[in-house]
Amino acid sequence: MKYTEAKEELIQAWGNLGYSWGLNKTMAQIHALLMISPKPLSTEDIMDELSISRGNANMNIRALLDWGIISRISIAGERKEYFKSEKDIWALARQVAKERRKRELEPILKVLREVNDVQADGTEEAKEFKKVVKELKNFAEKSDGLLETFIKAEESWFWNNLLKLMK
């Protein structure tokens, strides 16, 4: 497989994978392009490479900046903004986990904690509601603790402990 074919294949696959992480396809494709680029790219470079509009590029670059997985770079003598991706895959995975925790897990945990205090009125529905909410809350809190550990973990610590669990 030639480099250009392999590059296109990776960008497309990363776009599909990004969707599973809660990113839209174009956002993930821009991220893949920046990850494999040996130098920072401008918005125009990204637009040309992926054949996307300026609006689409700008919107997705802003979103990637918000997620904290790319950064803005200034190049001396250049007026254009340039962007680069985090290339450390471990740091990238932790940042994505941190963002997903903030966007998905923390809001539902807040709701579960609020509705957990509902006063049961003695009906079967209220009893079932309290039971299910309690189980969901316990699961979400354990998941939150696991994510917290992952986010704070060093790569070697994580893999060593995972291998111990697998033995």
Could you tell me which residues come within 8 angstroms of residue 25 by beta carbon, excluding any fewer than 6 positions away? 15, 16, 18, 19
The better pLDDT of the pair 147, 62 is held by: 62
The per-residue pLDDT for range 136-148, each reduced to its tens digit, is 999 999 999 988 8
The per-residue pLDDT for range 92-117, each reduced to its tens digit, is 888 888 988 999 999 999 999 999 88
Class of domain 3-85: mainly alpha
Residue 20 pLDDT level (bands cut at 50, 70, 90): confident
Cα–Cα dist 71/50, whole Å: 19
Cα–Cα dist 49/116, whole Å: 50
DSSP for 78-143, please give it. --S-EEEE---HHHHHHHHHHHHIIIIIHHHHHHHHHHTTPPP-S-HHHHHHHHHHHHHHHHHHHH
pLDDT at 106 (0 to 100): 95
* Percentage with pLDDT > 70 across the chain: 92
Residue 30 pLDDT level (bands cut at 50, 70, 90): very high
The CA-atom distances, in angstroms, between 163 and each of 22, 119, 146, 157, 160 are 28, 45, 16, 10, 5
DSSP for 22-89, please give it. T--HHHHHHHHHHHH-SS-EEHHHHHHHHT--HHHHHHHHHHHHHHTSEEEE--TT--S-EEEE---H
Q: What is the pTM of this model?
A: 0.77
